[in-house]
Amino acid sequence: MKIITVNQLAIPEIKIVKFEKFVDQRGYFTEHFRESDFGGHSELRFFKKFKFLQANESYSKQGTVRGLHLQWNPFIGKLIRTIEGHMVDMILDIRLNSSTFGKIILFDMPMDKKNIWGEWIWVPPGFAHGNFFLEDTLIEYLCTGEYNPKCEAGISPLSTDIDWSIADKKLKKDFEKARNSNLLISDKDKNGYSIDEWSKSSSSKNFLNSSL
């Protein structure tokens, strides 16, 4: 695997890992993950304490919103990429003692087969994660823990008390357009916690910087 760049977003724990595709007249080949390359990279050494235990694939129709999902026992970090289509990733800080608690960031992740690179987004434990889709889209994500339905919750992406101040303005408009049109969202996701409700729940006490 050839890692080209590692960048951080407005919340520095969120990382974007760009990797090379080897392109010729036939198409391309890429090695999109290798444990030793992640753990050996100077900006990704924190990966040495993680092991990916579950891999998920998800297909979503245009106009779908998923999330914002979170889990404890075990905490889960996620490494996500777009295989085909156009995803916008949504990451919400739910750590009660964080300076960015309640703030959401958005990252645009379209898949263009002509690009000579691909990319992952790393969402560590301590964040609620979701996405919305501007096209019919296929994504993959690797998880550092196995799914436990007894210790999961969600923040509604429609909650009015989410802080969008550090979110990309154009992508926020894209989300608002999806929300105000033929929105596809599960009742479970739509009826998730507000930020205020989450902060008052007993489960939120699991999400402190020192505990993750």
Domain presence at residue 114 = yes
Domain presence at residue 212 = no
Question: Six-digit token pair at 157?
Answer: 């992406």
For the stretch 8-41, pLDDT in tens is 999 999 999 999 999 999 999 999 999 899 988 9
Q: What are phi and psi of 68, to 5 degrees?
A: -95, 115
Residue 170: what pLDDT?
A: 97
Can you spell out the DSSP letters for 37-63?
HHHHSTT-GGGGG----EEEEEEE-TT
Contact 81, 87 (CB under 8 A): no
Domain presence at residue 178 = yes
Please identify which of the residues 69, 86, 129, 193 carries the catalytic annotation: 69
Residue 197's domain comprises 3-203
Domain presence at residue 211 = no
Domain presence at residue 209 = no
- Residue 154 neighbours by CB under 8 Å, 6+ apart: 67, 68, 69, 70, 128, 188, 189, 192, 193
Count of domains for the chain? 1
Residue 128 confidence (pLDDT) above 90: yes
CATH number of 28's domain: 2.60.120.10
Question: How far is it, in rounded angstroms, from Cα 57 to Cα 66?
Answer: 13
For the stretch 57-100, pLDDT in tens is 999 999 999 999 999 999 999 999 999 999 999 999 999 999 99
Domain presence at residue 14 = yes
Residue 199: what pLDDT?
A: 95
Is 147 one of the annotated active-site residues of the chain?
Answer: no
Identify the residue whose tokens are 């916008």: 88
Please identify which of the residues 86, 129, 141, 193 carries the catalytic annotation: 141
Is 86 one of the annotated active-site residues of the chain?
Answer: no
Domain presence at residue 210 = no
Domain presence at residue 52 = yes
Question: How far is it, in rounded angstroms, from Cα 60 to Cα 64?
Answer: 6
